[in-house]
Amino acid sequence: MPTELGFVVTRLMKENFKGIVDVAFTAGMEEQLDKVEEGAVPWQQVVSDFYTPFEKDLEAAGANIDKVKLPDPVSDVPCDKCGAMMVIKTGRFGKFLACPNFPECRNTKPLLEKLEVPCPKCGGDILKRHTKKGKTFFGCANYPNCDFVSWDKPVPGKCPRCGGILVQRMGQNGPFIACGDRTCGYIQRSRKDKE
């Protein structure tokens, strides 16, 4: 899926650089470059034909386009200080939740990343969390009502041996998929092995 920023950039390019955001331009340029290669046209001519109108477009775009400020995506988490729905911001250390009423309300929270896999105990969401020391683990969103927790990242699918959850573990040769229950011991063979 294109991002919001991608849509904005494409729209601005189409509006302000009609001459080059165009299939005919690309095809024509290729033809011209072929002629340069063949020695039929001097490259200075080709570059000048391109650059003279482009320079004007560039100047006009610089004067016409306002600085674009994308709205922050709204999360489904209410601010526990003022009740506003918190927005997702990107900082130096990744994404986090911030109150939209900044600077009146300066509340921020870590953004909890939700996995695509439901909790095997209660069907709720599994969230990526961090211990106080920064180690990643995965826990049920319904904690403390549900005590599901895993150091390894749960992945979609069921263990074909015991029907339990599958998790991703790190091995010497990179990540591999295995049963979440170590006493079961099931390990999924990699795609390479299957081939």
Interaction mask 102-131, Zn ion, x per CB under 5 A? ---x-x-----------x-xx-x-------
Compute the distance between CA of residue 19 and CA of residue 14 in angstroms, rounded to an integer.
Answer: 9
Compute the distance between CA of residue 176 and CA of residue 148 in angstroms, rounded to an integer.
Answer: 21
16 binds Zn ion (CB under 5 A): no
Chain mean position to CA 30: 33
149 binds Zn ion (CB under 5 A): no
> Which of 195, 159, 194, 192 has the alpha carbon at shortest distance from 177?
159
Query: Is the Cβ of residue 32 or residue 167 nearer to Zn ion in the bound state?
Result: 167
**Which positions from 162 through 181 interact with Zn ion, judged by CB under 5 A?**
162, 164, 179
Interaction mask 40-79, Zn ion, x per CB under 5 A? ---------------------------------------x
Query: Is the Cβ of residue 12 or residue 149 nearer to Zn ion in the bound state?
Result: 149
150 binds Zn ion (CB under 5 A): no
Q: What angle do the packed helices 43-64 and 4-16 form, to 10 degrees?
A: 110
Compute the distance between CA of residue 137 and CA of residue 113 in angstroms, rounded to an integer.
Answer: 11
137 binds Zn ion (CB under 5 A): no
Compute the distance between CA of residue 49 and CA of residue 124 in angstroms, rounded to an integer.
Answer: 61
Query: Is the Cβ of residue 159 or residue 177 nearer to Zn ion in the bound state?
Result: 159
**How many C-beta neighbours within 10 Å does residue 95 have?**
13
Query: Is the Cβ of residue 16 or residue 188 nearer to Zn ion in the bound state?
Result: 188
Compute the distance between CA of residue 109 and CA of residue 73 in angstroms, rounded to an integer.
Answer: 15
- How many residues sit in the footprint of Zn ion (CB under 5 A)? 22
Using the rule CB under 5 A, give the single segment among 6-14, 30-38, 93-101, 168-176 that binds Zn ion: 93-101
